[in-house]
Amino acid sequence: MPQNEQVILAERPTGMPDETHLVHQEGPMPEAAEGEVVLKTLYLSLDPYMRGRMNNAASYAKPVELGQVMEGATVSEVVESRCEGLVPGDIVLGYGGWQRYASAPGKALRKLDPGQAPITTALGVMGMPGFTAYVGLLDLGQPRAGETVVVSAAAGAVGQVVGQLARIQGCRVVGVAGADDKCRQVTGTYGFDACINYKAEDFEQQLDDACPDGIDVYFESVGGRVFDAVMKRVNDFARIPVCGRIAHYNQTELPEGRDRLIPFMGKVLVKRLMLRGFIQSDHLERQPDFLRDMGEWLRQGQVHYQEDIVEGLENAVSAFQGLLRGDNRGKLMVRVAPDPTA
């Protein structure tokens, strides 16, 4: 019998996950029950939320169980079908996880049309990251023309889209990233008005210069010193959609120093801030609007994107470590098998 290739969660990490926590192994080939298909993974999405799924802690979704395949979104090819409407050779979006082959109910999959857009975009600009940007900025951030929008992780899968949508709304857009080449990409390709490397010694002065009228919307996905610097500069009635806090995902203890929660809550009150955490899956009623609008923006050349594709499932763990360090350039994914549409 042929064997499947899988990455399982063998141990819950403390700090940065590595190959002792995420173990590469052979596993059984899946079979399709009635109404299901067998899928061959072409691309595996790597996303920051996966770090939280490795912890045995209460969250908005259940953690991955020890010994189970690490979860993740996938673009896959149907290789066997017992589901009406799907046939071998169809390309679908699903959640096959970190493995070469998977089975899934046909109703849990979205069929993709390679003639409409590259199939990789279903994991990026036309997928969960793009939808996160769309809902978080437009519905929660509610930017208005002439306002200043600051975007953390501006060169990442979500941030690159957030800034371009803010620009479409007529806003001044300032990105924050962790490398000079990322900042050049953000301003040169995505059209941000400015981008600042938060590792620069004069980061806060540069932020002042880039936001002379203060900050009206801050799209938060990082935390750490970027959040601290932005909070000093927010205007009254600023809106702060929160979709992540990647700077803290591998922390093993609380930071030293005084408790900053009390003064922060004072600022929330005095400035009348709207701070809203959100999960894109809570807003699925907006997905048809997102697919329509994003498809049109891409066709018109109003939105651009960058993808960072790593070859081979055996490199998924090291690529994920790089994601948590900020090494990736754009939407990170793993090519698990050759792309028949390329």
* pLDDT tens, position by position, 297-306: 999 999 999 9
Show the CA angle centred on residue 243, arms to residues 238 and 248, nearest 5°: 105
* pLDDT tens, position by position, 133-164: 999 999 999 999 999 999 999 999 999 999 99
Residue 46 clears pLDDT 80, i.e. is over it: yes
In CATH, what class is 128-283+291-297?
alpha beta
Residue 182 clears pLDDT 90, i.e. is over it: yes
Which distant-in-sequence residues (6+ apart) come within 8 Å of 248 by Cβ? 223, 224
Is pTM beyond 0.85 here?
A: yes
What's the rounded mean pLDDT across residues 22-29?
96
Dist CA 154 CA 203 (whole Å): 15
3-state class of 144 per DSSP? coil
Residue 90 clears pLDDT 90, i.e. is over it: yes
Q: What is the third-level CATH fold of 4-123+305-335? A: Quinone Oxidoreductase; Chain A, domain 1 (3.90.180)
Give the model's pLDDT for residue 1: 58
**Confidence band (pLDDT; 50, 70, 90) for 224?**
confident
Nearest to 173 by CA among 233, 218, 226: 218
What percent of the chain has pLDDT above 70?
Answer: 99
What's the rounded mean pLDDT across residues 9-31?
96
Give the model's pLDDT for residue 2: 72
Dist CA 42 CA 124 (whole Å): 14
Per-residue tokens: 179: 């490398």
What percent of the chain has pLDDT above 90?
Answer: 89
Residue 257 clears pLDDT 90, i.e. is over it: no
* pLDDT tens, position by position, 103-129: 999 999 999 999 999 999 999 999 999
Domain residue ranges of the chain, discontinuous segments joined by +: 4-123+305-335, 128-283+291-297
* pLDDT tens, position by position, 268-312: 999 999 999 999 999 999 999 999 999 999 999 999 999 999 999
Give the model's pLDDT for residue 276: 96
